[in-house]
Structure 1
Amino acid sequence: MSLSTHVLDTTLGIPAAGVAVRLEHSACTLAEAVTDGNGRIGALGADLAAGTYRIVFDTGTYFASADRPVFYPEVAVSFVISDPARHHHVPLLLSPFGYSTYLGS
């Protein structure tokens, strides 16, 4: 099973580069990475089994580094992997005062 993410700064209309991301399962950290210049992490974790996972995005540090206000210093997205053979993509659309996510392809 593969897992990827993509973070877009919707206020500026650009990829959110440099966002620290953590993958968790059963309160354990499985992987950590930082979004690249295109706001992407192509591979987060490996050989993930069926179950409930959580991706935590460090949005506070991202906004603070640009001296921008932030209301949500951390965004945690919980999701279920029911088919470990399928690729899962969890994007985050981000602004200082709101966010949205969805199951991507």
Structure 2
Amino acid sequence: MSHIVEKFNYLKKRKSVKYGLPFLILIVGGSFGLKHFTSLRYEYSKKQPVDPEEMKKFGVNMKKHTEVTLESEYEKIKGIDIDNWEQKRGPRPWEEEPPK
């Protein structure tokens, strides 16, 4: 029994056990504790689908899902001429506005 007590006292004096073991317990235990806190974010978040009629009451016009497709948006962008453009300088706060 005294051998176990001597071994415990020897390990208690070691810096790696005195400072390292509590640090490792904090890191490993903290990761398990944070797992529960981060899961709360997803468990209690609002997961209700958006109703277009309800949004219309608030003044938001939503398109139907079938109206907007990747192909229709590509056709819109394909018609834009990107080769002919002109760079326009924006007004600076310290400059006077040019007369119109």
TM-score by length of structure 2 reads 0.17
The structure with more radius of gyration: 2
Question: Which structure ranks higher in relative contact order (CA pairs < 8 Å, sequence separation ≥ 6)?
Answer: 1
